[in-house]
Amino acid sequence: MSNNKQKLELTWIGKNNPEYDIANIEPRILEERTDLSYGDKDSENMIIHGDNLLALKALLPEFEGKVKCIYIDPPYNTGNAFEHYDDSVEHSTWLSLMKPRLELLKILLHPDQGSIWISIDDDETHYLKVLCDEVFGRGNFVANVIWEKKHTRANDAKWFSDNHDHILVYARNKFDWKRNLLPRPEEEIGYENIDNDPRGLWASQPMQVKTPSEKCIYEITGPTGKKFWPPKGRSWQFGMDRYKELVKDNRIWFGENGSNVPRIKKFLSEVKQGIVPLTIWPREEVGDNQEAKGEMKIIVPDDPFGTPKPERLIKRILDIATKPGDLVLDSFLGSGTTSAVAQKMGRKQIGIEMGDHAYTHCKVRLDKVVDGKDGLKLSEILDWKGGGGYKFYELAPSFVVIDEFGNPVIDSYYNDVKLIRAMCKLTNYTFSPSSTDYWKHGKGQGNNSIYITTQMLSVAMTQQIASHLGKNETLLICPKKFEPGCEKVDARITIKKIPQSILKACQFGKKEYLLPIKERAMEEIDEEENESEE
């Protein structure tokens, strides 16, 4: 670890492997599967099936800086290979796979209002914390939430019974990010009205403070005549004059018998309209593993997901980090919990899942949510009746392949609009065809546009386009072939042949960036069924 006070870095074998450099990740296009999309056809919600590193790159530049809340539940690297996830990766490899994903997630986060929440356990928490300090900035660390994931005690545990997970919370910009207060419970714990005060419920708070002030150290005589001084090294919160005003206003409480140490009455009507989130989340408030598994048995009874998160846990996160209409992203969607809860809470959502359970679990779950028939408790709590929808996307194949003669060529999948969209991605242009100028397929920075064509580009055609260019406009033309002299027609026009011009733009042909699978995977153990409670 470096001694740089501004930026701490975690070092491991393979950290700087260019394969995981986000600049080398191919920016694929996303293709909608209209046969799998569901509900409102105009919905902006998305489920993306495919490698999540490639999918995150595919979301750029359209979603850069637009995501308000990211929640991810990556494989914990525990040494167990679960049915739906490989979770058995050597430590340095796990870090190498997490780093580029976090870097892309950071780019997608809203610059002022974005936050990321990462579920993890003790095996990698502290390494992940230092890695996140490097990616997001140590000053943007918000909290380490402790979630009570189960209530049973593992009496067969070799050392300790593992009953909690961590949720690391970072803001894109901590000093601009504003967390929401949590809704108050219907029955406020600690607020009563013992003396029938007309101002309503109240709770008593200590009257002394740790930082002493000489003018606030004095003797108080209670209703029974008992004398009180502040504890040694402390003082009362206020001077004698203010104390007398509070006594007159019936705001000093000496207990029901009038002989207790004086305390201040704090009325519920005067506190904030909500409560500040704690860093310890008990299962009674946000659910646990057993509750999550029960939810999945209702959604997919024949094939329940092995490691889901309870809906109440995700609701708590979205309550704190988002408002209705905000965009939520989960790039390790798993069983679809984040997307389902976001949908029911009126948030926009993007979910990415690489496994087949994008079809067998995520789609099935979201379909039931849209229909208002998932049958889960949170739907009842939120009075969710259904609605909305989502679009289902697949990652397009790699743009460049090697032909039978060993030459790089454009994959036959790409023709017409797909070719244009892919080239816009690869050259960092936003796909935005002009309705008036056929030679404007995408927009770049400033007044820069791009034109992609599979036809032979002639000098005459180049001259014609140049005659329509504005004084301060520039144009990049990407043809498969062009006549000699086209590149000299106008200084405002740059010509780059495809695919040669983009061969070095990124790493082509990579199908996935998966977690390696052990030769002999350990079977998942259902902790809830094999643990005994003391």
pLDDT at 303: 72
Lowest model confidence (mean pLDDT) among 153-162, 176-185, 283-292: 153-162
pLDDT at 152: 77
Whether the predicted pLDDT of 331 surpasses 50: yes
Contact 48, 55 (CB under 8 A): yes
Whether the predicted pLDDT of 417 surpasses 80: yes
Of residues 313, 305, 317, the one with CA closest to residue 364: 305
Lowest model confidence (mean pLDDT) among 91-100, 147-156, 211-220, 354-363: 147-156
Residues contacting residue 312 through CB under 8 Å, at least 6 positions apart? 285, 286, 287, 291, 378
pLDDT at 116: 98
Q: Evaluate the CA torsion angle 378, 380, 383, 388 in order and state its sign.
A: positive
16/136: higher pLDDT: 136
Residue type, 162: D
| Residue 257 CA: distances (Å) to CA of 136, 170, 197, 222, 263 | 55, 48, 16, 10, 13
Lowest model confidence (mean pLDDT) among 75-89, 153-167, 296-310, 514-528: 514-528
Q: Report, in angstroms and rounded to the nearest whole number, the Rg of the chain calculated over CA atoms.
A: 30
518/89: higher pLDDT: 89
pLDDT at 94: 81
Q: Report which secondary-structure segment, H or E, holds 69.
A: strand 69-72
pLDDT at 244: 93
Q: Evaluate the CA torsion angle 180, 186, 189, 190 in order and state its sign.
A: positive
Whether the predicted pLDDT of 515 surpasses 70: no
What is d(CA 189, CA 203) in angstroms, rounded to the nearest whole number? 9
Q: Round the average pLDDT of the chain to a whole number and report it.
A: 87
Domain 18-180+278-395 falls in which CATH fold?
Answer: Rossmann fold (3.40.50)
Residues contacting residue 52 through CB under 8 Å, at least 6 positions apart? 101, 331, 332, 352, 353, 354
pLDDT digits (tens, 9 = 90+) for 337-347: 999 999 999 99
Residue 216, Cβ density class (10 Å: 0-12 exposed, 13-18 middle, ≥19 buried):
buried
Angle at 347 between CA 346 and CA 348, to 5 degrees: 125
pLDDT digits (tens, 9 = 90+) for 257-270: 999 999 999 888 77
Of residues 315, 316, 322, 314, the one with CA closest to residue 66: 322
pLDDT at 251: 95
Residue 186, Cβ density class (10 Å: 0-12 exposed, 13-18 middle, ≥19 buried):
exposed
What pTM, to 2 d.p., does this model score?
A: 0.78
Range(s) within the chain of domains with CATH label 3.40.1350: 400-498
132 HSE (CA, 13 A, CB side): 25
Could you give the 3-state DSSP secondary structure of residue 89?
Answer: coil
Domain 400-498 has CATH 3.10.450: no
Range(s) within the chain of domains with CATH label 3.40.50.150: 18-180+278-395
Instruction: For the chain, give the number of residues.
Output: 534
402: left (phi over 0), alpha (psi -120 to 50) or beta: beta
What is d(CA 222, CA 207) in angstroms, rounded to the nearest whole number? 14
What is d(CA 225, CA 326) in angstroms, rounded to the nearest whole number? 59
pLDDT at 149: 87
Q: What is the secondary structure of 36-67 as a DSSP string?
A: T-EE-TT---EEEES-HHHHHHHTTTTTTT-B
Whether the predicted pLDDT of 84 surpasses 70: no
Whether the predicted pLDDT of 222 surpasses 90: yes
Count of other CB atoms within 10 angstroms of residue 529 = 9
**In which residue are the tokens 């905000």 written?**
326
For residues 443-455, average pLDDT = 92
Residue 299, Cβ density class (10 Å: 0-12 exposed, 13-18 middle, ≥19 buried):
buried
Q: The tokens of 297 are what?
A: 């048995």
**What share of the chain has pLDDT > 70, as a percent?**
90
Q: The tokens of 481 are what?
A: 């072939």
For residues 388-412, average pLDDT = 94
Q: The tokens of 302 are what?
A: 């024949």
